[in-house]
Chains A and B, each alone.
Chain A
Amino acid sequence: MSIDLKTIKHISKLSRISVDEKRAEKLADDLNSIFEFIEKLNELKTDDVTPLTSIAETTLKFRSDEIKSKNIREQIIKNSPEDNEDYFVVPKVIE
């Protein structure tokens, strides 16, 4: 298997990471060597194996939906790159 530039462009779109031509080539090289290494898994027959989805063999517990931290709105907003009073500001979405 080989990851070409078209695939890199596709993954970068899905990942929401812009990649220029030069970096795309380097990434293709890196990913190809990593996937070559990963292909080793195909030596194993796993048709009858149950996949391990969680290491902790417990069922997820429910908890009540309670607000525990109070009056932190200002602190939370302060962490945003751009805000307007109580709102996060993003580039215009609707024309």
Chain B
Amino acid sequence: MSDITKQSLTELVENIKNKKLSSTDVTKAFIQRSEKSSELNAYITDNFTLALDKAKKFDQNPNLDLKLPGIPMAVKDLFCTKNVKTTAGSKILNNFVPTYESTVTENIWNEGAILLGKLNCDEFAMGSSNETSHFGNVQNPIDKNLVPGGSSGGSASAVAGKLTPITIGTDTGGSIRQPASFTGIVGLKPTYGSCSRYGIVAFASSLDQAGPMAQNVKDCALLQEVISTYDPKDSTSIKFKRNHYSKELTKNIKGKKIGIPKEYRVDGMPKEIEDLWLKGIQYVKDCGAETIDISLPHTSYALPTYYIVAPAEASSNLARYDGVKYGYRAKGENLIDMYEKTRSEGFGAEVQRRIMIGTYVLSSGYYDAYYLKAQKVRKLIKNDFDDAYKKVDAILTPSTPSSAFKIGEKTNDPVSMYLNDIFTVPVNLAGLPGISIPAGHDTKGYPLGLQIIGKAFDEQNILNIAFAMEEKINFKNKITDWWIK
């Protein structure tokens, strides 16, 4: 089996269980390909030596009842991994070694997977192109000098480039779904409260969720099944009936009602996105589902709301980086001077911008005008979805308003960068699950994604719809391995 890295997670699990492959074979293959792929800059920290040791140990006494038996997996560098450096893509954490493990990664290792390394991301997950990382830009395997999206850009690049069979990212405003769409892979943002936030470097606590990024819907369902657990260590973790998502996966979506929101037909949307959406509508109809025109009237207010709520929460969460207990410290004449210089030198431009916006909207005299106002509009946005779900079972939209763009194209204009998340942000504000699946290509051959949004805790339903559509779409990613020397 020469092309181990071309196999899906489901195939690899099966081959390890049937003893056609060992964990060492699989781990070696992904390490070798990762080593040849340094030009993608997908990794911040590799864990190759330890991973190979672990794979050998696994093979000596393999537990083949596990869901991810001996599967190597790299994860976004926003998850705290015990004794392995965790940077969140920031200079301020560039030497931080956690003493504990995040719950979702713990769940993954408990099912037999092995940490391959930590993947690049926008600094503190603030960005839509991976260009805010202290550790440099990430290349999209689709084409040279193309952004992979963000903030889980390293994760998307690593899955699309087959440096890891599958991965996890985090999604605060689209950070799983947008890069998934830009690289032609599947990405799921689960319902808020489905996956524990314990041990994930916090960005905006009322919006952050971890989720799988995979080559196909079945792999995605399997990883979701592993990472979604109730966790007392996260006070917003929710107890609900969690399905065996991969086992219960079905292509039978006959009679499902799928909403098509007219407000997502935004001004200036390229025709190819519109065409893709129409194709998507046809696909779900072909699968036996019914489409219904719906309205989500407050859609255009979602981004302005997000750019108050997320920075406000970030400014509070990032107050802890003061150069005292961990992380980078600059020299200062006194304590306050040390704080101010540490944060000025340790945080990048985008993170500083967001801390300042957040500080401003929470400051005396502005709280009601901005933060309280945004919380009220957030309620209206959630109400829109609640009303829609009285009529439909799920909602179908494009994932992004464009395909991937060139590195450097949008870095000088923060607002144009923010517009990338126009279709994904409302889902986070309402706490709903959303999945992006690759659905076609634009004229340049770059992938385009469609998003299916579900009711809260209804991951199974959107996975099923995605699974049914995936077969009809029959998407093939156009990747030439141009970066491999």
Are B430 and A41 in contact, with the CB atoms below 8 A?
no
Q: How far is the CA of A41 from the CA of B232 in the complex (A)?
A: 36
Q: How far is the CA of A91 from the CA of B344 in the complex (A)?
A: 17
Judge if B372 is at the interface, Cβ distance under 8 Å: yes
State the majority secondary structure of interface residues on B.
Answer: helix
With a cutoff of 8 Å between Cβ atoms, the chain B residues found around residue A14 in the complex are 359, 363
Judge if A67 is at the interface, Cβ distance under 8 Å: no
Contact string against B for A residues 6-19, beta-carbon threshold 8 Å, 1 for contact and 0 otherwise: 01100110111111
CB contacts under 8 Å to B, within A48-67, are 49-56, 58, 60-61, 63
From the candidates A27, A41, A50, A79, name the one contacting B305 in the complex (CB within 8 A).
A41
CB distance from B480 to the nearest CB of A (A): 37
With a cutoff of 8 Å between Cβ atoms, the chain A residues found around residue B374 in the complex are 41
Q: Given A51-B372, A79-B326, A91–B301 Cβ distance below 8 Å? A: no
> What are the 8 A-B residue pairs with the smallest beta carbon separation, nearest first?
A55-B431, A51-B375, A81-B329, A79-B326, A18-B340, A46-B376, A52-B379, A49-B376
CB distance from B185 to the nearest CB of A (A): 27
Are B326 and A17 in contact, with the CB atoms below 8 A?
no
Q: How far is the CA of A38 from the CA of B336 in the complex (A)?
A: 32
Are A56 and B343 in contact, with the CB atoms below 8 A?
no
With a cutoff of 8 Å between Cβ atoms, the chain A residues found around residue B413 in the complex are 33
Are B307 and A34 in contact, with the CB atoms below 8 A?
yes
Are B355 and A46 in contact, with the CB atoms below 8 A?
no
With a cutoff of 8 Å between Cβ atoms, the chain B residues found around residue A78 in the complex are 97
Are B415 and A33 in contact, with the CB atoms below 8 A?
yes
Q: How far is the CA of A15 from the CA of B317 in the complex (A)?
A: 12
With a cutoff of 8 Å between Cβ atoms, the chain A residues found around residue B97 in the complex are 75, 78-79
Where the two chains meet, the residues of B that have a C-beta atom closer than 8 Å to any C-beta of A are 95-97, 99-100, 192-193, 206, 232, 235-236, 238, 298, 300-301, 303-305, 307-308, 315, 319, 322-329, 332-341, 343-344, 347, 352-353, 355-357, 359-360, 363, 370, 372-380, 382, 413-415, 418, 430-431
Are B336 and A16 in contact, with the CB atoms below 8 A?
yes
Question: 12 new A-B pairs (CB below 8 Å) besides A11-B363, A44-B298?
Answer: A3-B360, A27-B353, A27-B356, A37-B304, A39-B304, A46-B373, A49-B379, A51-B379, A69-B99, A78-B97, A88-B325, A93-B335
CB distance from B156 to the nearest CB of A (A): 25
Judge if A4 is at the interface, Cβ distance under 8 Å: no
Q: How far is the CA of A41 from the CA of B302 in the complex (A)?
A: 9
- Kindly report which residue of chain A lies nearest to residue B97, judged by CB atoms: A79
A-B Cβ contacts below 8 A, count: 162
With a cutoff of 8 Å between Cβ atoms, the chain A residues found around residue B319 in the complex are 16
Judge if A30 is at the interface, Cβ distance under 8 Å: yes
With a cutoff of 8 Å between Cβ atoms, the chain B residues found around residue A19 in the complex are 344
Q: List 5 A-B contacts (CB under 8 A).
A: A16-B340, A18-B340, A27-B353, A37-B307, A92-B335
From the candidates B235, B336, B360, name the one contacting A31 in the complex (CB within 8 A).
B360
CB distance from A6 to the nearest CB of B (A): 13
Are A82 and B380 in contact, with the CB atoms below 8 A?
no
With a cutoff of 8 Å between Cβ atoms, the chain B residues found around residue A90 in the complex are 324, 335, 338
Are A50 and B96 in contact, with the CB atoms below 8 A?
no
Are A34 and B415 in contact, with the CB atoms below 8 A?
yes
From the candidates B235, B238, B301, B375, name the one contacting A44 in the complex (CB within 8 A).
B301
Q: How far is the CA of A63 from the CA of B234 in the complex (A)?
A: 11
Q: Given A11-B363, A34-B414, A80–B326 Cβ distance below 8 Å? A: yes
Are A50 and B379 in contact, with the CB atoms below 8 A?
yes
Are B99 and A16 in contact, with the CB atoms below 8 A?
no
Q: How far is the CA of A7 from the CA of B339 in the complex (A)?
A: 20
Contact string against B for A residues 70-82, beta-carbon threshold 8 Å, 1 for contact and 0 otherwise: 0010011011111
- Kindly report which residue of chain A lies nearest to residue B379, judged by CB atoms: A52
CB distance from B300 to the nearest CB of A (A): 7
Judge if A40 is at the interface, Cβ distance under 8 Å: yes
Are A91 and B334 in contact, with the CB atoms below 8 A?
yes
From the candidates B325, B336, B376, B418, name the one contacting A51 in the complex (CB within 8 A).
B376
Are A79 and B307 in contact, with the CB atoms below 8 A?
no
Q: Given A38-B308, A91-B334, A80–B325 Cβ distance below 8 Å? A: yes
CB distance from A17 to the nearest CB of B (A): 5
Q: How far is the CA of A42 from the CA of B368 in the complex (A)?
A: 12
From the candidates B236, B337, B340, B418, name the one contacting A54 in the complex (CB within 8 A).
B236
- Kindly report which residue of chain B lies nearest to residue A38, judged by CB atoms: B304
Are A44 and B380 in contact, with the CB atoms below 8 A?
yes
Are B323 and A81 in contact, with the CB atoms below 8 A?
yes
Are A15 and B379 in contact, with the CB atoms below 8 A?
no
Q: How far is the CA of A41 from the CA of B376 in the complex (A)?
A: 10
Are A53 and B375 in contact, with the CB atoms below 8 A?
yes
With a cutoff of 8 Å between Cβ atoms, the chain A residues found around residue B325 in the complex are 76, 79-80, 88
